[in-house]
Amino acid sequence: MKKHEFQEDGNAPSELTNARVEIDRVDRELIRLLKRRMEAVRTVGDVKLEGPALPFVDAGREREVLHAWVREAQAQGLSEYFTGRILREILNYSRRTQENGPGRGPEGGGRRTVRVGYQGSPGSYSDLACTKLFAARGDVVERMGYSCFGLVVRALEEGEIDYALLPVENSVTGSIGEVNQLLVTRNLAVVDEETCTVDHCLVGLRGAQIGELREIRSHPVALGQCQRMFSSLREARAVDHFDTAGAARSVREAGDPTIAAIASAEAAERYGLAILREGVADQVHNQTRFLLLSKEAERVDTRWPGKTTLTFTVKDRSGALAACLKVLADHSINLTRLESRAEPETPWEYMFLADLEGYAEDANVASALGELRPWTNHLRVLGSYPSRALEERPIELPPLERGNGKQRTRSKSAPKAANAPAPATLHALPADQKRSIIRAGSAEIGGNRFTLILGPCAVESRDQIHEAAAMIKTRGAHLMRGGAFKPRSSPYSFQGLGFEGLTFLAEAGRRYELPIVTEVLRPEDVDPVARDADVLQVGARNMHNTELLKALGRIRRPVLLKRGMSATLEELLQAAEYIMAGGNHRVILCERGIRTFETSTRNTLDVSAVPVLKARTHLPVIVDPSHAAGVRELVTPLALAAAAVGADGLIVECHPDPSAALCDKEQALRPEDLEQLVEKLRPIVASQGRTL
């Protein structure tokens, strides 16, 4: 054996020192060369950005570069596999460098400071994913960690942060249910994605011995991914912690060498811990996918490969889900994820959450979305964004002997929706004449049941609304109406109790098992009202309020849309289209009378509107005889006429004591009037093959 020459201090052989010096010199040169490569990459990106509409990702060019690397690796006697892995990371870095070039980014401007929230502590995998993602986006980041996913979303909704970065699925354990439930139940926009390699390490105090460990802390998911390690450490028990990095920090704070954590190497370094064992996960290949969420959608350069995330519910008809999947297949759209989430407010109904390749404005995607809508009760695009997960896929490399590596193929951007035909109106009656049935809690509007929506004009007190609920429950009501917010002609009239009244109404609805219907006046009130109300009503004054209609299109509650007092039927249908175009297809049309020169009634009930609308739309049509008449004695005759011409139901004002009502007392039915109305309706409804 060769005897090594040692330095005078005796610390290491001179050959070892010289070799390390050489490694350091080569590493510095590699960094300088990488910098030069990135400068050239930025130039390529700038040329593509300013020149003709060329895609940023050129798969043919990437394969050509890989061929060259493989050939050079072979010539130098290096591993093709490890050389290819290095190149893949360089290509990923190159893509992101081009994306973050001049004039690019979400706002098309310079660097900005953004606040990003995530679940966990500094050094967690969410924190690492944040670092990786925002290196591409080019923003200066202020990070805020939260103890749970719900708090992150709440902070986003309340403006405490600009973005939320949340994990949605893991390659080993699958979907992260709590986050995906937040996606389908809250009004969030998906603006980007990121993937992060999960490399679990067993970390503890310096000097700790693995065989002496008695407690190992981590997030429950991380603990579940390291079961093989626990089988070899029989004395150590697993202890749940809210976060991997937080578990590492708790180990440092405990100061006990018998306590360890499962966390990232970065977390160990941050909290001054030693890595006791690397690669402790059961599965070597472990990645987590994150979504970046915002309150509003953002522009994106569609020359990058992209994804779209959407939610939808299918109509209650045979083969609806299969039809939706066939639409995507017919348009050559690759569905990368599809899962169902329970709808808590409607038992045994499910919301589907899907990811697909392509942008919503691509012609094939836009066309497919248009064809999906007739099969859905709700369809909302949460966002289109660059596909980061594609970066993790290996580059396809055909055998070297095929060609000389000089042939190039250029990936083409999908044609944009500007060239696609305009979508058909969503409210139109389909060719099969199939009509929509809208479910609200236990009630149905449309179909074979004639629906009665009964209750007072306004919620006046807790006692009053509970008394009204008891009255209508025993007289056949399917839903209860009541105004918490009252738009009045006079500013001095009773305006309602607001959210306090909504609370009273919701209490009465739960007690008497009646879904509740109430009016919403402002876009900003839609979400809080929807948390308590089963059906949100748009009054006649707001039928043309497009901002309110758009906000209602983003929720999953049915909407009762009243015809404006001077609106045509076409204008009513277009107002419904606003709601449906936003993704909410559960719209109930309501004829409530129009303003004419006649003064003997409050409005003139247009009974012809019912058959005309039913010939033009699949949406249910109900009638409000109370606001049409304005006089108690006329409400029942008009209600019977509405039933006779084919209305799907009635919304009628009634009050336990109309003389004491704070608004519209002249048109409110008394208990005995309500009983007479129901009895007179029975033969008319039965003659149409329906039931009450």
Closest CA to 101 of 89, 111, 92, 91: 111
Closest CA to 198 of 139, 132, 242, 137: 132
pLDDT digits (tens, 9 = 90+) for 540-566: 999 999 999 999 998 889 999 999 999
pLDDT digits (tens, 9 = 90+) for 629-663: 889 999 999 999 999 999 999 999 999 999 888 88
Residues 272 and 377 in one domain: no
Residue 210 lies in a domain: yes
Sheet (strand 237-240) strand order: 237-240, 215-218, 259-263, 201-204, 274-277
Residues 592 and 472 in one domain: yes
Residue 12 lies in a domain: no
- Whole-prediction pTM value? 0.70
Residues 478 and 565 in one domain: yes
Residue 272 lies in a domain: yes
Residues 458 and 600 in one domain: yes
What is the residue range of 205's domain? Answer: 201-277
The pLDDT assigned to 492 comes to 59
Phi/psi for 197 (5° steps) reads -75, 130
Which residue ranges of the chain lie beneath pLDDT 70? 1-13, 49-57, 96, 98-111, 344-348, 389-424, 488-490, 492-494
Residue 292 lies in a domain: no
Residues 65 and 210 in one domain: no
Cα 34–chain centre separation: 39
The pLDDT assigned to 106 comes to 42
Q: Is residue 201 helix, strand or coil?
A: strand
Q: Is 131 designated active site?
A: no
Joined together, the tokens standing for residue 383 give 């966002």
Instruction: Write the CATH number for 420.
Output: 3.30.70.260
Q: How many domains are contained in the chain?
A: 4
Last residue of a domain, one of 363, 389, 424: 424
The Cβ-side half-sphere exposure at 93, using a 13 Å CA radius, reads 12
Give the single-character DSSP code of 428. B
Whole-Å CA distances, 377 to 227, 349, 439, 559, 582 = 43, 11, 10, 12, 12
The pLDDT assigned to 55 comes to 66
Last residue of a domain, one of 56, 78, 98: 98
Residues 528 and 648 in one domain: yes
User: Which of 97, 195, 244, 288 is labelled catalytic?
Assistant: 288
Residues 319 and 264 in one domain: no
Residues 259 and 329 in one domain: no
Residue 531 lies in a domain: yes
Ordered DSSP codes for 352-371: EEEEEES-TTBHHHHHHHHH
Counting Cβ atoms within 10 Å, is residue 235 exposed (0-12), middle (13-18) or buried (19+)? exposed
Residue 14 lies in a domain: no
Integer Cα distance of 577 and 582 in angstroms: 8
Integer Cα distance of 408 and 391 in angstroms: 20
Last residue of a domain, one of 98, 119, 139: 98
Integer Cα distance of 515 and 517 in angstroms: 7
Joined together, the tokens standing for residue 147 give 């103890």
Instruction: Write the CATH number for 209.
Output: 3.40.190.10
Residues 678 and 619 in one domain: yes
The pLDDT assigned to 344 comes to 65
Do residues 44 and 51 lie in contact, with contact meaning Cβ atoms separated by under 8 Å? Answer: no
Q: E strands, 177-264, where? A: 189-197, 201-204, 215-218, 237-240, 259-263
The pLDDT assigned to 74 comes to 84
Residues 254 and 323 in one domain: no
Residues 527 and 648 in one domain: yes
Residue 3 lies in a domain: no
Residue 188 lies in a domain: no
User: Which of 134, 290, 312, 450 is labelled catalytic?
Assistant: 290
Q: Is 185 designated active site?
A: no
Residues 382 and 253 in one domain: no
